[in-house]
Amino acid sequence: MAKRKRSRGAPLRRSCGAMAAHMMLLERFPSFRASQMRLEGATSRRRDTGLDLKKARVRVLKTVVNVVYKADAHNISDAQIKSQIKALNKDFRATNPDRTRTPAPWKGLVTDSRIQFKLVKVTRTKTTRNAFSFDDGVKKAATGGIAPFNPKTHVNIWVCALTGGLLGYAQFPGGPASTDGVVINSQAFGSNGTAQAPFNKGRTATHEVGHYLNLRHIWGDTPDCSGSDVVADTPNCAGPNFGTPTWPVVTCNNGPSGDMFMNYMDYTDDAAMFMFSTQQVLRMRTALETTRSGLM
């Protein structure tokens, strides 16, 4: 079979707009800031009491995919959408085969979140917009997109063209319902169709849904060693890793194991990320028990 040519303008390295969108919401909505603070308090208490994941109920989240396209070629197929849901379920249930590549020091941290996704609705919207940004334009009919479907009870994922090499972004828990959900570049969605290597294993959605469930980037979004992802079992690191690094990558005096660059919340290529840690799962489960309890 002939190798498919890479589309012009396809992103070459990971770029996520979640934190830019997050800061914008913190400035615009005091209620969002207060909700985030309450959630952090609940997460801290959950860390103190612990979480027995072996006894935790599997949570199935009803999921809506909103396809927004200008060119018919970007009106992605049902097969491509199903490939993304399949990837999400493997990654969040830690049944992805590549999890076995986790370095020995962290193999015991690879954790099944006991979260699954069930596709219940697909919407398709023709737009006049060439592409969207992280300003939530794709989530509003007035700006060429479509409003979320029942965002308090459904995970909404928009698939569209994004500007500036952006692969995706998500809204953290507690923000306005009118813009709640996850946005993914159609070139990084699922594993076939318009998906382009090195982002064609569905991991962009895994990364962004992580944000949607209150996970931060593992380096804490600072260009040095001063940041934190508020997760105890992910080593402090100096910044994002790109591409497919060779382990170990040591920064911030975190040797000998170095950065956990194979974590879904780093910036590596799809083929190089394949795990959530135990404490990351605790954060996501706490978000589902509290701010995002309507999803259950």
Q: Is residue 246 a part of any domain in this protein?
A: no
Q: Is residue 244 a part of any domain in this protein?
A: no
Q: Is residue 266 a part of any domain in this protein?
A: no
Residue 2: predicted pLDDT: 40
Q: Average pLDDT by consecutive 10-residue portion of the chain (296 residues)?
A: 56 95 96 97 94 89 98 96 99 98 98 98 98 98 98 98 97 98 98 98 98 98 94 97 98 98 98 98 97 97
Q: Give kind and range of the element (H or E) at residue 78.
A: helix 78-92
Q: Which of 27, 40, 208, 289 is catalytic?
A: 208
Q: Which of 237, 243, 229 lies closest to 282, judged by CA? A: 229
DSSP symbols for 197-216 = TTS-SSHHHHHHHHHHTT--
Q: Kind of pairing, strands 115-126 and 168-170? A: unpaired
Q: Is residue 245 a part of any domain in this protein?
A: no
Residue 5: predicted pLDDT: 55
Contact 81, 192 (CB under 8 A): no
* Catalytic status, residue 40: no
Q: Residue 208's domain is classified under what CATH number? A: 3.40.390.10
Query: Which residue has 């049944």 as its token pair?
Result: 95
Q: Is residue 125 a part of any domain in this protein?
A: yes
- Whether the model pTM is above 0.95: yes
Domain that holds residue 80: 18-218+275-295
Query: How many separate helices (H) and strands (E) can be counted in the chain?
Result: 5, 7
Residue 62: predicted pLDDT: 98
Total structural domains in the chain? 1
Q: Is residue 265 a part of any domain in this protein?
A: no
Give phi and psi for 183, each to the nearest 5: -120, 130
Q: Is residue 46 a part of any domain in this protein?
A: yes
Q: Is residue 184 a part of any domain in this protein?
A: yes
DSSP classification of residue 7: P
